């Protein structure tokens, strides 16, 4: 079974890959539909924010 730290690292990697893919999808809409492009770009940014917010008690203890 994975430790909490391993789970967080794995999920961060997954979210970063998703963020990249959705950003690439957004770029494909650039010349077609600005609304869809912006929605996907915003979703990509939110996924990036979510990946940065993942933490564990272990990480919090090291910061203090």
- What pLDDT is attached to residue 58? 53
Distance between CA atoms of residues 45 and 14, nearest Å? 14
Q: Three-state SS across 1-64?
A: CCCHHHHHHHHHHHHHHHHHHHHHHHHHCCCCCHHHHHHHHHHHHHHHHHHHHCCCHHHHHHHC
Using an 8 Å Cβ cutoff, are 43 and 22 in contact? yes
Tens digit of pLDDT for each residue in 10-58?
Answer: 999 999 999 999 999 999 999 999 999 999 999 999 999 999 998 755 5
- What pLDDT is attached to residue 64? 43
């Amino acid at each position: 079974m994975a430790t909490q730290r391993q789970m967080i690292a794995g999920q961060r990697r997954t979210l970063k890959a998703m963020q990249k893919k959705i950003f690439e999808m957004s770029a494909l809409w650039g010349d077609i539909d600005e609304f869809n492009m912006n929605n996907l770009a915003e979703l990509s940014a939110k996924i990036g924010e979510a990946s940065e917010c993942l933490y564990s008690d272990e990480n919090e203890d090291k910061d203090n």
